Every structure is written in C-alpha cells, then in structure tokens.
Amino acid sequence: MRVILASGSPRRKELLKSITQDFEVIVSNSDESFQEGLTIEEQSKRIAYLKAKTVFNQTQGDRIVIGADTMVLKNGAIYGKPKDKKEAFQMLSNLQNDMNEVLTGMSILIEKDGVQREYNDYDIGKVYISPMEDKEIQNWINSGKAMDKAGAYAVQEEFGKFIEKIEGNYATIVGLPIHKVYQVMKQYL
C-alpha cells in the first residue's frame, strides 16, 4: 500500500516515520483560506481534507493520503504562519507569558481494492510559554525557524527552552496527531 504525506513539513515527515519509513511526500499547494460559517475545528479539518484530496486526486491505485493543518489559538484569535518578521514578533509577544491552544486537523483518504474511505478528525493541545524578553523573541525570529510555523514557534526546536509545559499530545502540537493517524493506518498496513 502506497503511503503519501500531502505536506512538505519536515516535522510531519519525522512524525510519520514513527509509523512507517516507507512513504512519499507530495505537497498539495491547495487553497488554505477559511470558509465562512465553520467553527475553527471544522476549518482545520476542512483545510487538512483539501490538502489530502488534492494529492489523492493526483494519484491512483491503492494508497493512503494524509493531510494535516495546524493552527495556534488564543482568546479567539488564530495564529497561522507569520507573513513577515514583524508579524512573527507580534505573535510571540501576544503568546508569551500565557497559555495557547494548538489545533491540528487531519484527513486520511484511502483507496484499497477500488473502495474509498475517508477519516477526518482533529486534536488539541495546550502550550504554556514562559515570559520572554524582546531580545529573546528577536533572536528566535532571526534564527530563521519562526516563519514556517503556526504561531511562529516550535516546541521541538531550541524554542523549547521557553515552553513551561504542554497538555495533550506532543505530536499534535508539533503538527500531526500521530496517535490518531496510527489507529487508522494500522488497519491497512
């Protein structure tokens, strides 16, 4: 069975390796804009689905295609990937010295012996970030590692020194709820 990750994220690739080493990556480049009238959980699942569906439609045969989307949430505000360093600084200024939620939606589309199935779900974790000085925020941004991450931070990078604690699944916070992905995939591998 062919396994395809519909994401160019190196973090998701590393997480998927805990299930299987035998997979390929096809980046979807699908539309990630929000659809009016959906909850944030529905938005995340929808975007993950669009990523997976784009790649699923480009491929054939027995396959498992995995899409995911991660957002950081705090007090009703959504923190995606920052557009520039200024926005990254603003995000981290808002997120530090407090708790935020990390929501990762997932979509797994499967075709086996001509039968198609889909699994759409999400998981949420909480991240508590220590107080940070402006200089510490700027140093992290200048490392170049803030720009491709929701909320402009990464618990698995050196930013981890600012993480007081997490509640929930670590992999969900990194970008792929691997415990949920595994429960689906083990039926087919």
Q: Where are the alpha helices (DSSP H) in the chain?
A: 10-16, 40-58, 85-95, 134-142, 170-174, 178-185
The rounded distance, in Å, linking the Cα atoms of 81 and 98 is 19
The rounded distance, in Å, linking the Cα atoms of 68 and 176 is 6
The whole-number pLDDT of residue 32 equals 77
The whole-number pLDDT of residue 35 equals 81
With 90 as the cut, is the pLDDT of residue 172 above it? yes
With 80 as the cut, is the pLDDT of residue 168 above it? yes
User: Which pLDDT tens digit goes with each residue over 25-75?
Assistant: 999 988 777 888 999 999 999 999 999 999 999 999 999 999 999 999 999
The rounded distance, in Å, linking the Cα atoms of 172 and 53 is 21
- Strand, coil or helix: what is 134? helix
Q: Is 69 a catalytic residue?
A: yes
Q: Which of 62, 69, 84, 134 is catalytic?
A: 69
pTM to 2 decimal places: 0.93
The whole-number pLDDT of residue 5 equals 98
Question: In Å, how far are 1, 53, 117, 124, 136 from 28, measured between CA atoms?
Answer: 20, 9, 19, 23, 34
What is the average pLDDT across 135-162? 95
Residue found under tokens 């490392």: 143
